Amino acid sequence: MGRKKIKPFFEGLEVIDAGSKGKAVAKAPDGRIVFIPNAVPGDVVSVQTTRKRKGFYEGFVTELLQPSGERVSPKCVHFETCGGCKWQHMDYAAQLKYKEKEVTQNLLRIGKVALPPVDPILPAPETYYYRNKMEFSFSNNRWLEPWEISEGTEIASRNALGLHIPGMWDKVLDLKECHLMAPPAEAIRRGIRAYAEQHGLAFFDPRKQEGFLRTLMIRNTLKGEVMVVLQFFEEQEGDREALLEYIRGQFPEVTSLYYVINPKKNDTLYDLDLVHFAGTPFITEEMEDLKFRITPKSFYQTNSRQAHALYKKVREYAGLTGKELVYDLYTGLGTIAQFIAGEAGKVVGIEAVPEAIEAARENAKMNGIGNVSFHSGDMKDLFREDFLRTHGVPEVVITDPPRDGMHKDVVAQLISISPERIVYVSCNSATQARDLALMNESYEVVRVQPVDMFPQTHHVENIVLLQRRTNP
């Protein structure tokens, strides 16, 4: 048997930067980069490595020798375990600085495009309690803290209602608190968990695929409307009815209550028929003079206040005069399409999810907007010549794709139809940069606007305005 290799230990490393996926960056004595979670640029730390590759190490902090001036005390007791708010130990001004830096570096290094001066990142008005949607998982095999294991004491309950441990599909952290969603979300979550324990309801076992309670979704609006969606693995009518009646009676703030029976091996709800149990079948978000009805399956930006700031910037970048034909790709509920419709000649929205398109049409009708149309289909298949012949060639295109960015066929079609301006909204500046590189011969980047939608995390939204080159 070969001797086990001893993983390097480094003492007194200075953390020099914030890297990808929220990890901090230091440099080892041999010149390799060291990626470290839960550290802040400016910290001096001791690091035990766990992985060695040709160009880098991965490790964890064993001792904080000197704290950074950008370090603050985390608000949540679950910091370092949950993984949901990886930057809450970093001053908010510093968070903004590193997010803006990440956007700039991705566009330069990956996109290799010429950039104008990047507009200062738009800070969020609220750094906690800003989310309008949270999804929690029930589990009968909760994550055990190291001290619980080392003490060897009997564990009274292994049940959990909380969030998955990063990288562990079958382990759920039993939350004592969460500071991401405004009241009454936390009271609802705690109340449902206590009721389930008190009445002996079976929490889901993801390995054995058995149990009763599976997931809990909570959504809210700035008006104070609240939606609750309970997902059960199997039907137990008496227990289900009793729990739903408990929620209705205990939490009158819940204005929309749904449930669904899901015996599948995954938690996704989009292919299931949800049952409306009580209240209204939707909750309503307002933005300026617009209203948007949100159902359990609807996509809506998870930071409502900052979404308004984002859309105002999109509208500004679009530079509309009231005459333009605008295409809104990946339109979702049609929020951007309707937000800009008053300044456009006509807006055409395209989205892959049929339910979202149906909701977009209903919202447009409710808002009295007559110059928008919405169409459902896979973007790379629908956004083609026959569609353009029917609906016209746009002068302006707004695109807000998922994290993977745009399909190469969609990028090719954009270049082919050659709109005057493209406003590209992205939640992943790396894939955005890749797409910009493909369009660089035909379009120049004239404005860049990072937007902080998710304080306490490393995630950042970015808007780029592309102008067609006069002599491509």
Residue range(s) in the chain whose domain bears CATH number 3.40.50.150: 94-127+303-468
Residue pair 33/51 in contact (Cβ under 8 Å)? The answer is no
Cis amide linkage into residue 8, ω under 30° from 0? no
How far apart (Å, rounded) are the C-alpha atoms in residues 212 and 138?
9
**Beta-strand pair 290-294/283-287:** antiparallel
Assign a CATH topology to domain 133-283.
Answer: OB fold (Dihydrolipoamide Acetyltransferase, E2P) (2.40.50)
**Helix (H) or strand (E) run with residue 100 in it:** helix 92-109
Annotated active-site residue 85? The verdict is no
Interatomic CA distance for residues 318 and 96, integer angstroms: 25
Given 3.40.640.10, 3.40.50.720, 2.40.50.140, 2.120.10.30, which CATH number is that of 9-71?
Answer: 2.40.50.140
The answer to whether 83 and 101 are in contact (CB under 8 A) is no
- State the amino acid at position 144 in one-letter form: L
CA 188 to chain centre: 22
Intervals of the chain under pLDDT 70: 1-4, 146-154, 472
Give 21-79 as a 3 state SS string: HHCEEEECCCCCEEEECCCCCCCEEEEEEEEECCCEEEEEEEEEEECCCCECCCCCCCC
pLDDT digits (tens, 9 = 90+) for 319-328: 999 999 999 9
Indicate the pTM of the whole model: 0.92
User: pLDDT tens digit string along 235-291?
Assistant: 999 999 999 999 999 999 999 999 999 999 999 988 899 999 999 999 999 999 999
- Please state, as a whole number, how many other Cβ atoms lie within 10 Å of the Cβ of residue 449: 23
Which tokens is 324 given?
Answer: 């333009």
List the one residue out of 158, 247, 263, 175 whose CA is nearest residue 214: 263
Catalytic one among 76, 85, 178, 427?
Answer: 427
So what's the pLDDT on residue 1? Answer: 46
Beta-carbon contacts of 360 under 8 Å, excluding residues fewer than 6 positions away, are: 331, 332, 333, 334, 337, 338, 349, 351, 374
Decide: 211 and 204 in contact? Cβ < 8 Å.
yes
Q: What percentage of the chain reaches a pLDDT higher than 70?
A: 97
Q: What is the CATH number of domain 94-127+303-468?
A: 3.40.50.150
CATH 2.40.50.1070 domain position(s) in the chain: 133-283
Domain with CATH 2.40.50.140 in the chain: 9-71
pLDDT value for 183? 92
187: left (phi over 0), alpha (psi -120 to 50) or beta: alpha
